[in-house]
């Protein structure tokens, strides 16, 4: 009878999970640094637009990290592709912020439609980014 989970598979899970969370954390921190408004402060103050925008950013970042881990041949491969995906996602985020002009101000002012638009951009870019990571 085969075991469903072995010690080796559990260690591999913890390793990939930790690496994925690390890449996600670093990418999210970079997003927070490049955002003109203070999303965490706004979220703590109850700003719905900021919560939606940052939530979308997290999903948009997690999608390519998921793809990188799913398609990797090793932990190093997953880390490299995860970091490449995070850089692409942050660059897309910056371009979207620049192209939209007043989006950051609108999020600061709790304009929910701006938060939804920002989240939609992040998630759609994350999907395209994730799809581009192929074995």
More reliable by pLDDT, 82 or 13: 13
Which range has the worst mean pLDDT, 67-76, 77-86, 118-127?
A: 77-86
- Average pLDDT for residues 127-134, to the nearest whole number? 88
Q: Are 83 and 23 in contact (CB under 8 A)?
A: yes
- Average pLDDT for residues 10-17, to the nearest whole number? 94
**pLDDT reported for residue 18:** 95
| Whether the predicted pLDDT of 99 surpasses 70 | yes
Q: Quick one: CA dihedral 104, 106, 108, 114, positive or negative?
A: negative
- Average pLDDT for residues 53-80, to the nearest whole number? 91
């Amino acid at each position: 009878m085969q075991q469903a989970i072995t010690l080796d598979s559990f260690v591999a899970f913890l390793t990939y999970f930790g690496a994925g969370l690390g890449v996600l954390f670093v990418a999210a921190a970079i997003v927070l640094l490049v955002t003109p408004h203070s999303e965490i402060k706004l979220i703590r103050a109850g700003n719905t637009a900021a919560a939606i925008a940052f939530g979308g950013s997290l999903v948009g970042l997690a999608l390519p990290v998921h793809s990188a881990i799913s398609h990797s041949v090793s932990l190093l491969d997953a880390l490299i592709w995860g970091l490449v995906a995070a850089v692409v996602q942050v660059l897309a985020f910056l371009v979207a912020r620049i192209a939209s002009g007043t989006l950051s101000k609108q999020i600061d002012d709790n304009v929910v439609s701006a938060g939804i638009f920002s989240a939609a951009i992040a998630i759609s870019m994350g999907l395209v980014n994730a799809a581009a990571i192929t074995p």
